[in-house]
Amino acid sequence: MGLTQEDLNQIRAEIAANMKAQPAKKKQVHTNWEKNMVREYIATKYGNKLTIFNARVGAIPEERKKEMYKFLRRWADAIVVTRDEIIVIEGKMRPNPGVISQLQLYMRELHNTPEFEEYQDLPIRGVIVSAMGDTTVEAMAIEAGLDFEVFKPSFYDVWEEKRLNGYVH
């Protein structure tokens, strides 16, 4: 047995009565703070060294799926190649312990990355770049063989104000 027109009208009236007009939320412009921080850090620290931003890492399992894996592979915030080493960089405005395993994974996957095959003989160093210090995460990173650098980008005060006001997480 279906609903009558009277039943439908009653349901619509109840729904309308329960709905309150909500003002549209003001759309916030997204700022990729970490990406900007990493770019500024590299410009300051490494200048004109070969740098790949949002570097895809990992193997491409099958040739026929190559196009798909271009987008499914993981990516490090940046990889800097020098004469002496490959530096894998992961940036966090606020450090968290998860960044350690994240960076370790990228470093491990770098050995299987076809785009970096010519640099396989160079040692790999991992660097966590953070706008804020965290002694616990820093100690854990060092124990894991990673570098931890505090770098306050030029926009740090703007980010901090937005963070304190609840605009960024």
> Any idea where the domains of the chain sit in the sequence?
31-164
pLDDT for 162 equals 87
CB atoms within 10 A of CB 94: 16
pTM exceeds 0.75 for this model:
yes
Residues 83, 29 contacting (CB under 8 angstroms): no
- Rounded distance between C-alpha atoms, residue 140 and residue 39, angstroms: 25
Residues 147, 141 contacting (CB under 8 angstroms): yes
CATH 3.30.750.24 fits 31-164, yes or no: no
pLDDT for 59 equals 85
pLDDT for 9 equals 77
Token pair 């210090």 in the structure block, residue: 133
List the chain residues with pLDDT less than 70.
Answer: 1-3, 7-8, 15-30, 63-71, 169
DSSP 50-111: EEEEEEEES----GGGHHHHHHHSEEEEEEEE-SS-EEEEEEESS--THHHHHHHHHHHHHT
pLDDT for 131 equals 97
- Rounded distance between C-alpha atoms, residue 81 and residue 110, angstroms: 12
pLDDT for 140 equals 98
